[in-house]
């Protein structure tokens, strides 16, 4: 066992884990954050994507020891902080646009898609279709045929640009 210090969605945690345990499993089993999904388990599908120190990574390929000292954002950390008790939680504009535009169907790929979109729009606030396709190239979806996902990203870009102006 190794003790790793990891900041997940803004909260610093000290976890005792096997050094080669996958970050994906650390998140799901030790941090009890099951929003991050496992698809292929081999770095091919992006279902397990999270942001680590601001970079998009496939958490199934990251050993726990490599995440020591890192700051990780998962799908649970994307939405604005929890609403006051009794009030409905708010979705992040990217989540809202996926919801409204059919960008999510079965939902397995969706957390990774949302994180990849977050990363993309940080870099390109008004992305071209080519930039969207490239930004999401590492994320596979078996349900939507991708067009609705691309449209959701375009709507999210518009919504975020409106908010920031
Ligand atoms: S589960 Fe990690 S890339 Fe597919
Ligand atoms: S919505 Fe089912 S895999 Fe993408």
* In a domain? residue 84: no
The pLDDT, as a whole number, for residue 13 is: 96
In a domain, 102, yes or no: yes
- Phi then psi for 8, rounded to 5 degrees? -115, 120
Residue 87 CA, ligand 2 centroid: distance in Å: 29
Q: Does some domain include residue 108?
A: yes
Pairwise CA distance, residues 152 & 117, whole Å: 10
Which of 77, 101, 116 is where one domain is finished? 77
Strands 55-58 and 71-73: unpaired
Sign of CA dihedral 43, 48, 50, 56: positive
Ligand sitting nearest the alpha carbon of 106: 2
Answer yes or no: do 72 and 126 share one domain. no
Task: Say if residue 73 is in the same domain as residue 98.
Answer: no
Rounded distance from Cα 157 to ligand 2 centre (Å): 21
- 109 in contact with ligand 2, CB cutoff 6 A: yes
What does each of the 165 residues of the chain score in pLDDT, given as a tens digit? 999 999 999 999 999 999 999 999 999 999 999 999 999 999 999 999 999 999 999 999 999 999 999 999 999 999 876 555 666 678 999 999 999 999 999 999 999 999 999 999 999 999 999 999 999 999 999 999 999 999 999 999 999 998 777
Q: Are residues 50 and 107 in the same domain?
A: no
- 139 domain residue, yes or no: yes
- Whether 61 and 112 map to the same domain: the answer is no
Considering the domain architecture, whether residues 101 and 157 belong to the same structural domain is answered as yes
User: How far apart are the C-alpha atoms of 87 and 113, rounded to whole Å?
Assistant: 27
N- to C-terminal Cα distance for the chain?
A: 49
- Which of 25, 23, 30 minimizes the C-alpha distance to 56? 23
Phi, psi (deg, nearest 5) at residue 5: -105, 120
State how far the Cα of 85 lies from the Cα of 96, in Å rounded to an integer: 21
Gap from CA of 130 to ligand 2 centroid (Å): 21
My answer on whether 68 and 33 are in the same domain is yes
State phi, psi for 163 to the nearest 5 degrees.
-65, -40
Ligand 2 proximity of 40 Cβ (cutoff 6 Å): no
Q: Does the beta carbon of 140 sit less than 6 angstroms from any atom of ligand 1?
A: no
Q: Is the CB of 45 under 6 A from ligand 1?
A: yes
Residue 87 confidence (pLDDT): 65
Domain boundaries, position 45: 2-77
What is the count of structural domains for the chain?
A: 2
CATH number at residue 25: 3.10.20.30
In ligand 1, which atom is closest to the CA atom of 39? 1
* pLDDT given for residue 138 in this prediction: 97
Task: Indicate if 68 and 113 belong to the same structural domain.
Answer: no
Q: Is the CB of 43 under 6 A from ligand 1?
A: yes
Residue (of 4, 8, 59) closest to 31 by Cα position: 8
87 found inside a domain: no
Is 88 inside a domain boundary?
A: no
Q: Which ligand is nearest to the CA of 42?
A: 1
Last residue of one domain, picked from the residues 77, 108, 142: 77
Query: How far away, in angstroms, is 115 Cα from ligand 1 center?
Result: 13
Mark whether 116 and 157 lie in a shared domain.
yes
């Amino acid at each position: 066992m190794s003790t790793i210090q990891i900041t997940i969605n803004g909260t610093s945690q000290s976890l005792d884990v096997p050094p080669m345990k996958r970050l994906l499993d650390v998140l799901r089993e030790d941090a009890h954050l099951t929003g991050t999904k496992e698809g292929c388990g081999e770095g091919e599908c992006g279902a397990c994507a999270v942001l680590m120190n601001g970079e998009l990574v496939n958490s199934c390929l990251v050993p726990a020891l490599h995440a020591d000292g890192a700051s990780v954002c998962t799908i649970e950390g994307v939405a604005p902080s929890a609403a006051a008790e009794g009030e409905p939680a708010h979705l992040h504009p990217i989540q809202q646009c996926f919801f409204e535009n059919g960008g999510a169907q079965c939902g397995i790929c969706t957390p990774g898609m949302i994180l990849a979109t977050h990363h993309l729009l940080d870099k390109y606030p008004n992305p071209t279709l080519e930039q969207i396709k490239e930004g999401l190239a590492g994320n596979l979806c078996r349900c939507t045929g991708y067009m609705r996902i691309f449209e959701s990203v375009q709507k999210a870009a518009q919504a975020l640009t409106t908010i920031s102006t």
